Amino acid sequence: MMRILTFLLLGSMIYAMSSCSAEAENTDGMETQDSTAMAMQALLGKYTTVKLTTDISALSAAERQMIPILIEVARIMDTLFWYEAYGDRDELLASIENEDMGRFAVINYGPWDRLGGNAPFVPGVGEKPAGAQYYPADMTKEEFEAADLPDKASLYTFVRRNENGDLMTIPYREMFADQIGRAATLLDEAAELAEDAGLKKYLSMRAEALRTDNYQPSDLAWMDMKDNHIDFVVGPIETYEDQLFGYKASHEAYVLVKDMEWSQRLEKYAAFMPELQKGLPCADQYKKEKPGSDAQLNAYDVIYYSGDCNAGSKTIAINLPNDEEVQLKKGTRRLQLKNAMRAKFDKILIPIAQELIDPSQQKHVIFDAFFANTMFHEVAHGLGIKNTINGKGSIREALKEHASALEEGKADILGLYMVNQLFKKGELTGATMEDYYVTFMASIFRSVRFGASSAHGKANMIRFNFFQEYGAFVRDETTGTYKIDFDNLQKATDALGALILQIQGDGAYQQAADLVTQKGQITPQLQADLDRLSEKGIPVDVVYEQGIEALGL
């Protein structure tokens, strides 16, 4: 009897212990779930939602019919970029149980926080590969350089391993054969509806470009297109995602409605390009190329983003084509995305200025200055030179993974140079130079919040740290606000512009790498100030409610 009672007593103790253990495990699990939920809500708080729409009443019936077709093509580009940035989208999303985490993965096109230095936010995921999915994960730079593959640095090839383990290339048109075929067919359908001859020609040629990976003819046709009310930027375009070499282009698309009135107001500025090129603050050999004077400045409302341009921080202005030969023949088109720009100004830039800009200078943060600074950033991509002066090939080839950061830094600085010169000539009205300068400085705080991992982020930090060394601004230790010194900011602008143009012209890879390493980092003091913005609930960027429903189609 005693043995039975002892057994029952032991059993009840074991049961009680196991129950306590289970309760502890459940509590731990609940705490983990709660902390994950809080962390994901904080990450999602970096973004505020904006509805993308425009007045489509001025469009013809045929133009309105085109929009859903173009959006469908854009959605195909979205699937291609998912593969380029991460791999299997469906597999990743199916593995994520937390709804907010899944939503954040969709915003980032993968499990890495693009506004947080590409830090992984999905458990078990490692660092983001520098070469994204364009190269084998185990490939070294040395192996790539040694490979005898004529098209290995092409914008439009993946690098993979063959059955023997050697490197090989696969053209985009083959890797994405089914999706490209569908997108090209849809573009042909849209071309049939197009009433503008230039748009009709471009859409047909862009369909052929997708099928052949030969984009130059359609880029030239796009530059010839002048009177279209609808525009469509589509294809593998920017190389930011490839942070290993900066060679591979990523798929994206924008569906755009042109603001004809604003575009007419902007037309005159392109004619000043040759004159502004001559006046660049650098030695003559770094400005010997002649920029196209028939470049175009247009304003648009964007109604759909997809792929690369929709990942993390959202583009508010575009400068295309990237093809250096097309740029020299035709110049470029600078597309100002007016509705997206206004949303970021109202929801993000103004609150930042109220927190970080000296109260006496906050009145200088105005939309006209923000629009002009953003526009001339894109225009300034056409200044300087596209090829090195010493036989090292194109700047993109010579500077490799640092080419994009230096090019974005050049555009930032030379854009402000252009504003200054045109203001002196009386060609810019509606704002003072103080407005342009203070808005420019406030915009740095907006942009550096994207992190220092992207090309734009590195360019922002180089500029901020360079300005600080030149005394272009002073931080008030009591209020934590920044006051711009206008004279020193102008000196810093000229000096940094000359430095970047020299590095590009010389194809000085190591000098570029040193500049990025030494000045491309966020300092502890700046990070503390940026953290204040997050504590105030000021979003970092936007996500879009977009599509035919948002347009009411």
Domain membership flag for residue 153 = yes
Amino acid 264 reads Q
Q: Would you list the DSSP string of 15-41?
A: HHHHHHHHHHHHHHHHHHHHHHHHHHH
From the list 231, 202, 217, 218, the residue with the least C-alpha distance to 63 is 231
Domain membership flag for residue 340 = yes
Domain membership flag for residue 10 = no
Query: Cα–Cα distance between 62 and 229 in angstroms, integer?
Result: 11
Domain membership flag for residue 32 = no
- Where would I find the beta strands (DSSP E) of 180-286? 230-236, 251-258
Q: Report the domain count for the chain.
A: 1
Domain membership flag for residue 225 = yes
> What is the structure's pLDDT at 294?
62
> What is the structure's pLDDT at 453?
65
Domain membership flag for residue 35 = no
Domain membership flag for residue 276 = yes
> What is the structure's pLDDT at 286?
93
Token pair of 330, please? 């035709």
Contact 171, 213 (CB under 8 A): yes
> Residue 439: which domain range?
47-551
Domain membership flag for residue 455 = yes
Token pair of 184, please? 């090209």
From the list 308, 262, 328, the residue with the least C-alpha distance to 54 is 262
Is the pTM for the entire model greater than 0.85? no
Q: Which residues of 130-149 are buried (b: 16+ CB within 10 A; e: fewer)?
A: ebbbbbbeebeeeebeeeee
Contact 463, 516 (CB under 8 A): no
Residues of the chain above pLDDT 70, percent: 93
Calculate the CA dihedral of residues 176, 181, 187, 191 and round it to 10 degrees: 150
> What is the structure's pLDDT at 474?
97
Q: Which positions of the chain have pLDDT values less than 50?
A: 1-25
Residue 356 Rama label (left phi>0; alpha psi -120 to 50; beta): alpha
Secondary structure of residue 260 in the 3-state scheme: helix
